[in-house]
Amino acid sequence: MKNLLDNLKSLLQNDERLISKGELLKNKIIELALKLDKDLIKLLLSDEKMKEVFFVNVDGALIFDKDKFIRFVSNKQFLPDSYTAFKNKIGLIDEKGEFISEKREVVLSWPYKDCVLEGGMTKEDQKRDEIFWNEILAPDEISRLLDPKVFTNAKRIDKNGEHRFDGFRTDEKGDIKDNLIIEGNNLLALHSLKKRFAGKVKLIYIDPPYNTGNDSFKYNDSFNHSSWLTFTKNRLEVAKDLLKDDGVIFISIDDNEQAYLKVLCDKIFENNFVATVATVTNPAGRDYGGIAKTNDYLLVYTKKADTELNWVNVEKEFPYKDEKGEFELRELRNRNIRFNKGNRPNLFYPFYVNPKNRDKNDFYEISLEKKKGWIEVLPKKSQGIQTVWRWGKEHAGEFLNTEIIARKSNDGGYRIMEKYREKKQMARSIWAEKEIRNEMGTLHIKRLFGEKVFDYPKSEFLLKKIIDIGSNEGDLVLDFFSGSGSFGAVAHKMGRQYILIEQMEDHVRIARQRLKKVIDGEQIEGGISKAVGWKGGGDFVYLELMKWNENFVEKIQKAKTKDELQKLWETMKKKAFLSYKVDIKAVDENAKDFADLSIADQKRFLLECLDKNHLYVNYSEIDDEEYGVSEEDKKLNREFYKS
């Protein structure tokens, strides 16, 4: 056992993915074994002893016994100081004493988890049947479905109205700097954006359907919950690709799916969870369900663990004053244990405090050099983890005894403090301000349009707070459930570049009108215009995904008579992409049976005949004459995709 352990440790040292600061990363080893990582298996096969122990010969084929390997690696003797199996673990175990988390036996699972859910709506009250493509069984279908799409009908909108598209505005790096509103299926639009915007979005905010039964998630199936999870997973996975490394995502949700969404996001965003924020939308409560609900939620995640969010403005009095003005004190120690000695060694160093020299405010003299009689102060541990300072040593050295001082702590020791002069604080996890309530958003929309044109719009002040926390002026922000365009309106007024994606035609129309009002300098009560000093200006570019089978979907849904549907079927046979399952001859031979169906059933049948992989035109087929893409649109798309 001893020799095998030593040999395995020595062998694994050859894979740099498995080492940090000279130590083997046991959890990483287990993770790669579970994934049947090819490089790990190849490394094990390079050693005859490992081949003998961890592989089974089946008719000349070597099969990796990953369970045996993981049990071996999980053994307490594999740990550096192996006095107990629980040295650095707390968690659930099974009857064999093995950690469930390592065996991956507890995971969020649901029917169709490994599928891509296709479907789309152009009206709020429309229902659609689920179409699932399994990632393993239908890779070609998924690839075609998610291929970049052709954009069409481009327009630039400014204070003077709509104009013929004049090309994208780019910076010196070639990055598109236009604000964009895209009409079309948001999953397909997100995949189309990857070519130009992967890794460039600072903030994503979405307000997806909550799956309450009364919202826009109108999928017909007994697996409604599973459909919602698949629908959401598909979109969040590509959204993560669009985020910058220091990007952040805020997701509005209520109790119907909040718990499941949290677990789903933990997986997708690799546990880079920041907070669940309670947003008080109705302090009086909604009197049903046993306890009156007063709030919704915001789930907040970052793409990378070391991302810091902006602090928010607050009204408060400062207790101290010096020649530079008022200030308060905050600890120089970084309380976020995601920043620690292990990953920020440059922020770990000692200060030295002179216990005999203090001023009238009880601030003690400090130094970075060790002196006789002076007391060493290091950042304290938190939850057993060695924390660090927020400032580097060189930077701190420039402000000793001016902006950085020491104070005595309650335990008799000393705390290193920073003079903090900005009237800001880290955002709290309960947002209860009156102006963020839903009624404020509804009031604003009514005043903008003279009537209620949209249900439950978010308050501009809520979105302002999100944008303040998650981005800075000039950053690119994204909302791919844009609804009435509230997020885009706020982003425009706050000097952010934005991309909005929306499929429902009525919503897109409202969003375009709303953004035009913003450009014109609207000052309507209930919005943030006065709060941010908005005077108007700017523009945006409107784009559509070019429809193909989606055109037939819309015509089928709008048809009023059986004669219209019969004519549509004749056209579909000639121009639509039909499912491979459709036998046209058999349908025509049974025309009487089709005619006897109700209009609703005829519509359902014709919709099922359409190949949903061809709802929109793929960019790869832009030169196919059958689609009739204009030269103007070809130029637009080649500019967008840089090809």
Tokens encoding 385: 């983890």
Which neighbouring-strand residues pair with 352? 367, 376
Residue 104 has pLDDT above 90, yes or no: no
Q: What is the DSSP string of 154-207?
A: EEEEETTEEEE-----B-TT--B-S-EEEES-HHHHHHHHHHHHTT-EEEEEE-
Residue 127, pLDDT score: 55
Averaged confidence pLDDT in the chain: 87
CATH number at 116-273+295-310+455-545? 3.40.50.150
Angstrom distance (rounded) from CA 550 to CA 612? 8
The confidence band for 78, taking pLDDT boundaries of 50, 70 and 90, is low
What pLDDT digit, counting tens, does each position of 465-505 carry? 999 999 999 999 999 999 999 999 999 999 999 999 998 88
Amino acid (1-letter code) at residue 281: T
pLDDT greater than 80 at residue 109 = no
Query: Residue 302 — φ and ψ, nearest 5°?
Result: -110, 160
The phi and psi torsions of 49 (rounded to 5 degrees) equal: -65, -40
Residue 94 confidence class, pLDDT cut points 50, 70, 90: low
Amino acid making up residue 129: D
Please give the helix or strand (H or E) that residue 66 lies within, else none. Answer: helix 66-74
607: helix, strand or coil: helix
Distance CA 477, CA 500 (A): 9
**Strands 23-24 and 19-20, how do they pair?**
antiparallel
What is the per-residue pLDDT across 172-225, written as a single tens digit (0 to 9) for each?
Answer: 999 999 999 999 989 999 999 999 999 999 999 999 988 876 655 554 444 467
The pLDDT, as a whole number, for residue 103 is 46
pLDDT at 222: 42
- For 270-290, what is the mean pLDDT? 87
CA-CA-CA-CA torsion for 227, 233, 238, 243, nearest 10 degrees? Answer: 140
CA triple 179-181-186, angle to 5 deg: 125
Q: State the average pLDDT over residues 327-339.
A: 90
- Taking a C-beta distance cutoff of 8 angstroms, is the pair 264, 108 a contact? yes
| Predicted local distance difference test score (pLDDT) of residue 138 | 60
pLDDT of 126 above 60: no
Query: What's 521-543 look like in SS3?
Result: CCCCCCCCHHHHCCCCCCCEEEE
Task: Quote the strand ranges of 507-615, DSSP E.
Answer: 540-545
Distance CA 532, CA 529 (A): 6
- Tell me which of 504 and 511 has the higher pLDDT: 511
E strand intervals along 369-510: 375-377, 381-382, 385-386, 404-408, 414-420, 424-425, 430-431, 476-479, 497-502
pLDDT tens by residue, 542-562: 999 999 988 898 899 899 999
What backbone phi and psi angles, to 5 degrees, belong to 143? Answer: -60, -45
For residues 273-283, average pLDDT: 93
Closest to 28 measured CA to CA, from 355, 270, 212, 279? 270
What are the distances in angstroms from CA 583 to CA 89, 520, 555, 579?
59, 55, 22, 9
- CB atoms under 10 Å from CB of 122, counted, come to 19
In this prediction, residue 84 carries a pLDDT of 36
Of 16-20, 124-128, 435-439, 444-448, the poorest mean pLDDT is in 124-128
Of 98, 35, 40, 16, the C-alpha closest to 54 is: 40
pLDDT band, very low/low/confident/very high, at 76 (cuts 50, 70, 90): low
CA distance 83 to 106: 28
The stretch 611-633 carries a mean pLDDT of: 90
Output the pTM of the full model. Answer: 0.76
DSSP string covering 195-262: HHHTT-EEEEEE------SSSS--EESTTHHHHHHHHHHHHHHHHHHHEEEEEEEEEEE-TTTHHHHH
Q: Band the pLDDT of 286: cuts 50, 70, 90.
A: confident
pLDDT at residue 309 in the model: 95
pLDDT at 219: 46
- Say what the pLDDT of residue 516 is: 97
Mean pLDDT for 122-137 is: 55
Q: Which of 13-22, 157-166, 188-197, 442-451 has the lowest mean pLDDT?
A: 13-22
**H helix or E strand, kind and range, residue 640:** helix 631-641
The confidence band for 86, taking pLDDT boundaries of 50, 70 and 90, is very low
- pLDDT confidence tier of residue 343, bands split at 50, 70 and 90: confident
Does the pLDDT value for residue 402 go beyond 80? yes
Query: What is the pLDDT, as a whole number, of residue 89?
Result: 47
Q: Which of 234, 242, 147, 281 is nearest to 479 (CA)?
A: 242
**DSSP reduced 3-state for 559:** coil
CB atoms within 10 A of CB 526: 20
Per-residue pLDDT band for 27 (boundaries 50, 70, 90) equals confident
Element (H, E) at 277: strand 273-280
Least confident of 68-72, 107-111, 407-411: 107-111
How large is the average pLDDT for residues 124-148?
Answer: 66
Chain segment 554-608, per-residue pLDDT in tens: 899 899 999 999 999 999 999 898 987 788 988 888 888 889 999 989 998 998 8
Whether the pLDDT of residue 107 is over 60: the answer is: no
> Is there a contact between 473 and 496 (Cβ–Cβ < 8 Å)?
yes
Domain ranges of the chain: 2-103, 116-273+295-310+455-545, 317-422, 549-614
Pick from 485, 549, 493, 533: nearest CA to 512: 485
